[in-house]
Amino acid sequence: MSRTIGAIALAAVLLPATLIPARAASDADFKTAYAAADAAEKQAGALRNQWTTTEAALAAARKAAEAGDFDQAVAQAREADALAKASIFQATSEKEAWKALEIK
Amino acid sequence: MRACALFSSVLTALGFAVFVATALPPARAADAPDPAADAKAFRDYFVKKFPKVKLDDFVNGPYSMNEDMRKQWEEKEQFPPYEFALEAGKEMFATPFKNGKSYADCFANGGIGVRQNYPMFDEKEGKVVTLELALNRCREANGEKPYSYVKDEMASLTAYMAFTSRGKPFDIKIPADPRALEAYQEGKRYFYTRRGQLNFSCATCHVQSPGERIRAETLAPALGILNAMPIYRSEWSGMGTISRRFTTCNSQIRGVPLEPQSDEYRNLEYYLSYVSNGLPISGPGARP
């Protein structure tokens, strides 16, 4: 369980580093980043373990893209991707870890 | 010679098996589900953690945890805020469908005093059927549209059915069907599984921290946690069904709730009700 927390914390730390684009992002950059995040979130959905924060970041990415702010759109999509991956990690490790909490 | 060696090793193996079988308690792998033992351990945990709370009092959720709150509650019960929903539910229950049939036709004993038997495991479908689901299936079988699982109509109907069952102990059965045991086990797994960005399981709050305050609320203990459902909550300024409570508890830890009456929630309700077997139905309830 602390491993899960660790992974989530790590995702949060790594996040800002991946967010600084060298040049202004394009619509194509957004589409690539969004597709990756969306695929990860679908996988979390198949594991029945989506997070509301991932959904919020995906929505913010779409909104920024619609407004033509692709830097922001890419940043939000990458955040969504990191969150979705953390939720997948959580669901996977909980497949066994839940037993530790059980009242015996 | 070779045959002889083989024979003797088979014998040794057999002897070992017999030895193991007699040395261990009747063949139960460490992981095999044992609902009766679970329920006992569950109850013991809460009784030990809250020695001053009478067993039947756990069904009063947060009010069982604290003397001041209990007083507030007793005052509240004189003019219960769920009265309106209860009256509405009674009337809805008695009103025939367009085809002339009614809810009473769908349930044992005309639906009166049966709440404690839900959820049930339906061996034909191979799945858990909750009271909310049974009510909507009754509607649909009679040509009516199903109600939302999280809104007032469903809360009113279940409030009335709970009311007619007050004091009856939860009596959830797990038939000798491997699918029933599997459903129970899946419900247990859901209950203890951490989820949401906050990485909490139901147990983190309702097993490890009952009685503690989270924002303005006192956490209810998981023992008897469904006996008072549905509940009126001031924060909702209205009634909430079990479905509404499950989805709310998921979203507050930043998890996307599942669809009401999804298999997971049905199994969860089955597990939570089973481990509260013997505790009286007290619904509908009122909460701060």
pLDDT digits (tens, 9 = 90+) for B37-65: 999 999 999 999 999 999 999 999 999 88
Higher pLDDT pick, B21 / B33: B33
Range of B40's domain?
35-70+82-287
All residues of chain A having their beta carbon less than 8 Å from the beta carbon of residue B251 are: 52
The whole-number pLDDT of residue B55 equals 96
CA of A51 to nearest chain B CA: how many angstroms apart? 4
The confidence score (pLDDT) of residue B66 equals: 80
In a domain, B25, yes or no: no
Give the 3-state secondary structure of residue B286. strand
Banded model confidence at residue B194, pLDDT cuts 50, 70, 90: very high
User: What pLDDT is recorded for position B22?
Assistant: 39
Is position A14 within any domain?
Answer: no
pLDDT > 70 in chain A, percent: 79
Number of domains composing chain A? 1
Share of chain B above pLDDT 90, in %: 79
B12-16, B77-81, B190-194, B262-266: which has the minimum mean pLDDT? B12-16
Note if the pTM is more than 0.90: no
- Asked if A8 lies within 8 A of B197 by C-beta distance, the reply is yes
Beta-strand relationship, B285-287 and B231-233: parallel
Helix (H) or strand (E) holding B213: strand B213-214
Measured CA to CA, the distance from residue B177 to residue B82 in angstroms comes to: 38
Over residues B193-199, the mean pLDDT reads 98
Q: How many CB pairs under 8 A join A and B?
A: 61
**Is residue A68, in this structure, part of any structural domain at all?**
yes
- The mean predicted confidence, pLDDT, of chain B is 90
What's the pLDDT score for residue B58? 96
- pLDDT tens digits for range A22-40: 689 999 999 999 999 999 9
**Residue A2 contacts B where some CB pair is shorter than 8 Å:** no
Chain A residues whose CB is inside 8 A of the B208 CB are 101
What are the tens digits of pLDDT across the range A34-92?
999 999 999 999 999 999 999 999 999 999 999 999 999 999 999 999 999 999 999 99
Tell me, yes or no, whether B76 lies in a domain.
no
Per the domain annotation, does B110 fall within a domain? yes
A-chain residues within 8 Å CB-CB of B42? 103
Tell me the pLDDT tens digit for each residue of B81-97: 999 999 999 999 999 99
- Is B106 inside any structural domain? yes
Structural contact between residues B217 and B270, judged by C-beta atoms closer than 8 angstroms: no
How many angstroms separate the CA atoms of B159 and B260, rounded? 18
Q: Give chain A's end-to-end CA distance (angstroms, integer).
A: 18
- Tell me if B38 sits within 8 A of B188, measured CB to CB: yes
What's the pLDDT at B150?
A: 97
Instruction: Give the per-residue pLDDT at A19.
Output: 55
- What pLDDT does residue B108 have? 98
Within an 8 Å CB–CB cutoff, is residue A4 touching chain B?
A: yes
| Domain assignment of residue A7, yes or no | no
Q: Quote the domain boundaries for residue A76.
A: 24-101
The Cα B261–Cα B248 span in angstroms is 14
Q: Is position A16 within any domain?
A: no
Position B227 scores a pLDDT of 98
Q: Give the C-alpha separation, A49 to B195, whole Å.
A: 7
Task: Encode B139-161: b = buried (16+ Cβ within 10 Å), e = exposed.
Answer: beebeeebbebbebbbbbbbbbb
- The pLDDT score that the predictor gives to residue A10 is 44
Q: Is residue B154 part of a domain?
A: yes
- Whether A83 has its CB under 8 Å from any CB of chain B: the answer is yes
Token readout for B14 is 């057999």
Q: Which residues of chain B neighbour A94 with C-beta distances below 8 Å?
A: 193-195
Decide if A17 touches B, using CB distance below 8 A.
no
* B90 found inside a domain: yes
Going by pLDDT thresholds of 50, 70 and 90, the confidence category of residue A9 is very low
Find out whether the peptide bond into B26 is cis, omega within 30 degrees of 0.
no
Q: Does B192 touch chain A (CB under 8 A)?
A: yes
Domain count of chain B? 1
CATH of the domain at B151: 1.10.760.10
Lowest mean pLDDT among A33-37, A66-70, B18-22, B138-142: B18-22
Of residues B77 and B141, the one with the higher pLDDT is B141
Rounded CA-CA distance A54/A37 in Å is: 9
Are B196 and B253 contacting, i.e. CB atoms less than 8 angstroms apart?
yes
Has residue B192 been placed in a domain? yes
Q: Coil, strand, or helix at residue B129?
A: strand
B249 is catalytic: yes
A8 Cβ partners below 8 Å, 6+ apart?
A: A86, A89, A90, B197, B199
Q: Quick one: pLDDT at residue B124?
A: 97
Mutation pick from B28, B40, B197, B205 vs chain A, by most beta carbons of A within 10 Å, is B197
Residue A7 has which token pair? 């992974």
C-alpha gyration radius of chain B: 22
CA angle A16-B201-B221, nearest 5°? Answer: 140
Q: Which residues pair with B286 in a beta bridge?
A: B232
Mean pLDDT of B123-129: 98
Q: How far apart are CA B161 and CA B91, in angstroms?
A: 12
Residue A21 reports pLDDT greater than 90: no
If we measure between CA atoms, which residue out of A37, A44, A29, A72 comes closest to residue A58? Answer: A37
